[in-house]
Structures are given as structure tokens and as C-alpha cells.
Amino acid sequence: MSLAGAGAVALAAVLDAVAAEPPARVHPVAWFGRLVAPLDREWTRPRLVGGLVALCLPALAGGVVGGLVALAASRSPALAALLAGLVLFSTTSRRMLTDLARSVVDASSADLPRARRDLRGLAGRDAGALSPGEVRSAAVESAAENLADGLVAPLLGFVAGTLLGGLPLGAGLAAWVKGVNTLDSMLGYRSKPVGTASARLDDAVMWLPARASAALLALAAGAPRALAAARPWLAGVPSPNSGWPMGTLAAATGARLEKPGVYTLNPDAPLPSLPVAERGVCVVDRAAWLAVALAALALALPALPEVGGWS
């Protein structure tokens, strides 16, 4: 089953490279978002409702997905691997993230108004007054942060679940992680008490993926000391997790990455120039491919002795 899991990872990577994302009308994450949207309102007891939402909705997503893959496995292992690959494709993102980041970086010099507008697809900040360097900084920061929650976290869930309990558990955990991330992105704001539990759960779930992503970025950049260099800058980042990949990429590229009025990473360096920002996005892309390769390898290795007839 581990080889089937590696095949599912490879299928998801190929689909991502070819299509980037499933069409919105059939995207499971979009369906989940439509399920969450009616809950984003005022409640008499918002924290109680929010706790139930954080507990139940990701579990529902994981349970449905895991059940479908288990049903497929009862019919055919190949069908289960195919379905698990489709699940992983819909819960991870590489090409869309890096393509959009590259587009924003390129437009920051040629068409600043378009760059500011397109940045909304990457970063939830007011871009109307950002300079070209600040736009590039936001794009690079967001690419680094989204590497963790958009790819590494679901991949880790899939690998851990598949090794522990087979493809149904792996696919179910990937869907659960994506559900947690989606809840946080929709509800996890200080102005929304109903999202407090979702934000806290996301902080816990993302602890390991954020740090793993930082290590992948340092490795992809050929800058092993970037992790240690980033540590002193992280206190100013509100999130306990997102500062790790962002700070590591700031150190690896030698650029200042900042959200004006909130945090500054690598404060003694200049804002990223166009070539530096382009390199930063390339580092994120290499780290993403490295994550995919390591996930497939982690799943394939346990099965190799059995395949080779070793004992």
C-alpha cells in the first residue's frame, strides 16, 4: 500500500503540473468553503459554536474522503490509489501558487497597479499604497507561507496516515488538514470570535509543517544557516508558525521581507529587487518539488524490500 501511496503522490504532482487546480465548480475545497460560509455570522455564543465548527467540519471532510477511498479500496487497490491521488491533487497546491507569485513579481516593475490588484490572490493585505519593493516582498512572503499550508501540511498528513493506516487514513488526514486550513483562512480573524477555535487548531496543526517548510527552503536555497539566522526576527510575527518559512527565505535570499506596521524580517537588508524576488519564488518552487519527492520516497521505501523479495 505504501507503493500505492507513492503513486498517488506522483499522480497529484503530474495533475498539478498540467492543470494547476481542479475547476472551481468541482473543487472539493470550494465545496467545503460553501459549507463554512453560512457560519460566518454573529452568534449568541460564538466561541461554543466556533469550537463545534472546528471539531466537526474538518472531521466530516476527513471522514467522507477516507470512507470513499476505503470503498474504492474494497473494489480495487488501483482505484483507491487513483482516488487518493485526486484527493491529494485537490488538497495541495504548487503551480498555482508559484505562477501567481511570479506574475505579481514580474508586474511589480512593468504594471504596478496590476501587481497590487493580483496580490490580493496571495496576501490578505491592503496593497493600494505598496511600493514595488513592498509588493515583491508580499509576494515572496506569501509564497513561502503558502508552501507550508498549501502543500507541506496536507502532504505530511497524507504520508503519516498512509504509513500508519493505509490510503483511506492518508487521504482522510490530508482532507482534514485542508479543512483546518480553510476554516482558519475563512474564520480565523481577531474580529470573528466564532473563528477563535479554528485559529488555535490551525496553529497546532501547522507547527510541524511550518518548520519543515523552513528546512526545505533552506535546503532548496543551499543556505543551511538560514534557519538559525531567521530565529531572532520571528518575535514580531503574529503567527507562531508563518514566520519560520518567511524568515528563512528572507535570510536565504538576503532580502528584507516586511508587512508594513506589523513585522520586518531581515531588517538590515534591502527590500527584494526584481531578480532577488524572482529567485525567492524559484526557491519556493524547488522546495515544493523537494517536498513532493521526499513524500513519495518516504512512502516507497518501506515497500521496496517486499517488492524486491528481501526479508
Q: Is 173 part of any domain?
A: yes
- Decide if 139 is inside a domain: yes
Q: What is the pLDDT of residue 306?
A: 56
Residue-level pLDDT at 120: 87
What average pLDDT is seen over the chain? 93
Tell me whether residue 306 is in a domain: no
Number of structural domains in the chain? 1
278 falls within a domain: yes
Residues found in the chain:
311
Q: Does the residue 208 lie in any domain?
A: yes
Q: Within a domain: residue 308?
A: no
Positive/negative CA dihedral, 31, 201, 251, 124:
positive
The pLDDT assigned to 307 comes to: 52
Instruction: Please state, as a whole number, how many other Cβ atoms lie within 10 Å of the Cβ of residue 260.
Output: 14
Helix, strand, or coil (residue 100): helix
Which grid coordinates are listed for 98?
508559484
* CB distance 46 to 193 below 8 Å: yes
Q: Is residue 88 part of a domain?
A: yes
Please check whether residue 307 lies inside any domain of the structure.
no
Q: Domain range spanning residue 58?
A: 2-301
pLDDT band at residue 305 using 50, 70 and 90 as cut-offs: low
Give per-residue pLDDT as tens, 99-153. Answer: 999 999 999 988 999 999 999 888 877 778 899 999 999 999 999 999 999 999 9
